[in-house]
Amino acid sequence: MKKELKPVYINSIGIHLPNKPISNDEMEDYLGLIAGKSSRTKQRMLQQNGIKTRYYALDKEQQSTDSVAGMAAKAIDACLANGKFAKSEVAFIAAATTQSDLPVPGFASMVHGASKLPVCDITSHQSVCSAGIMALKSAFLHIQAGEHENAISCAADMPSRMFKASRFDKQAQIQEKGLPLDTDFLRWMLSDGAGAIYLSEQPNTHGISFEVEWIELKSYANNFEPCMYAGANKSKDGKIKESWLDYPSFSDADADAAINLKQDIKIVNETVNLGVQHFFQLIEEGKLAVNDIDWLVCHYSSEYFKQPIVDLLAKGGVVIDEKKWFTNLHDKGNTGAASIYIMLEELFNGNKLKEGDHVLCMVPESGRFITSFVKLKVIVSKKPKKTPSISKSDEILAPEVHVANKPIQEKLVRSLTDTWVDFELSLRNTEIIERIYNGTISLEDYRLLLLNLRQQVIDGSQWIARAASNVSMDYFDIRSSFISHSRDEHKDYQILEKNYINCGGKREDLYNGQKNIGSEALSAYMFHKASQPNPFDLLGGMFIIEGLGNRLAGKWGRAIQHQLDLTDDQVSFFTYHETSDSNENHFERFEKALNSELLTEDMANRVAKTAKVVARLYQMQLAELGNY
């Protein structure tokens, strides 16, 4: 039985361009002068390629300010931030480059390490400009086949390191005669940058998405020798006889200029010919209709190649209006494998696209000749974007604690207030809570939150009851407060369970659920403390937990309800605690205990420390959702 292919969408695109834009006049300030002399071909090459500004991950001392993997990681961060996606959601990374920072291990491993994404599936792609399309196609196929629900495709290149003047210091012929044209013209054409694309099987719920209709790539290496290459020299017949690894030493390979990046200018025009030939084949196969192209995002490495592309298309009866061509070569530079990502990011986020637009991406490669095309369709969600009802920038207000004007109580309140501020800040930067504040929480996220909280909520009344049993009769009133509090908490979990089921959760999941590792730590600590004689320092834990109900639960519940269009009986666990944990209810008992004679200076210090520990463990519980 044939497996049904899933639709694939581009939901977000991010880029990273290092440091500041560098003008043509500044280029040699960063790349340096070879043998102390300015390039004789620089002005002619710049006039031909049309690039006005570009970016280098180099400073003026020719020291690297980043790495290829580091730039890719920054592009991934930008991509996830633009789409408000969490790192923990990423299931697959496809990473592409022309040359990684290290020969071994693979580039995707380096990007995975630099990006600090979770354990996931990866694949590396190394070529030249088409490497970025290879990675995109890999991510596309994985989602289409149902292997993963989402993926990150990224590409980064940093050729500036290949062209800095010090790279050629040990190459005597170049020091004497200057760079040969096959390397020199690349020096003025290539620059640094990275891009990342987030793909999934669902379009965005608001704004635009790209539906990926198809991706096609063809290699012609069986018919041609390498054109753009490094790690060898060509003989007079245009063939490569030995690799740089075949030299007696790395120094010998360097001295012979074998490590230099080169382009065989005698055959480079085949790139244009093959790209246009592939374009016409797509028309013949019915994959492409010229009149349907609203945007042509064409990666031509230099303005010099655009007119030959236009002329060849015209010879085949194809004229694409100049207004449909999209490039940012002139101000972003030629960033190799990352170029198509950097162009698509500007188009995607530039308010130029409309529903139903068809975007054709064309990326030819001169490495050993590859042509690649991507067909995208613009999808615009009709659902209006909701403004979150709360914000991470909202004022933080600690729970009010009314105490007598006594130095010990006042000092404790100051300490608890400081702990609360740190606690709430850490919560706002915890992934699940951050999604509540920025309006990106999904129904699946909310169910996971309820499922994880349920296991700890059940323990709540139990540790309070244990604490009450360990309070001596000398503190009868405090003991009675603990018992009353335990009774109130006893049925909280039932409200939570109803919310979970009303949101589509399964009852058996609740009953078979486990504590996540944060809940395990929190419960173990609370039971440990509750088992001590007269465990009054648990008041610090009550301050954090009841304070959360008092100050935050209601806000969170209403924000979730607003974002997901839920009913009252789907968020009542949170909204109920806003009143049940108020100063008129649970907090009144807390204040009564603090104002009693049990609060010595030593006990106040213990209460303050317990509050800090519980705050950290509670935040850990929310940070470890699903980690059992």
pLDDT digits (tens, 9 = 90+) for 365-402: 999 999 999 999 999 987 777 889 999 999 999 988 88
The pLDDT value recorded for residue 485 is 60
What residues contact 560, with CB distance under 8 A and at least 6 apart? 436, 441, 446, 566, 571, 574
Per-block mean pLDDT, blocks of 10 residues, the chain (628 long): 84 98 96 91 91 97 97 97 90 97 97 96 97 98 96 98 95 93 93 98 93 98 96 94 96 96 94 95 95 95 90 93 96 97 97 95 96 97 83 91 84 94 96 93 93 87 83 72 62 87 92 92 94 90 89 94 94 84 57 77 94 97 93
Query: Which H or E run contains 69?
Result: helix 68-83
- Rounded Cα gap, residues 340 and 342, in angstroms: 5
Instruction: Kindly give the pairing relationship between strand 193-200 and strand 9-16.
Output: antiparallel
pTM attached to this predicted model: 0.79
What type of residue is 6? K
Q: List the structure tokens of 372.
A: 């690649």
What residues contact 478, with CB distance under 8 A and at least 6 apart? 471, 536, 593, 596, 598
Q: List the structure tokens of 537.
A: 């320092």
What type of residue is 275? G
Q: How many residues does the chain have?
A: 628
The pLDDT value recorded for residue 366 is 95
The pLDDT value recorded for residue 583 is 45
- Rounded Cα gap, residues 71 and 58, in angstroms: 12
The pLDDT value recorded for residue 360 is 97
CB atoms within 10 A of CB 365: 30
CB 504 within 8 A of CB 446: no
Q: List the structure tokens of 280.
A: 């016409």
What type of residue is 376? L
What is the rounded (10 degree) CA torsion for 194, 199, 205, 209? 70
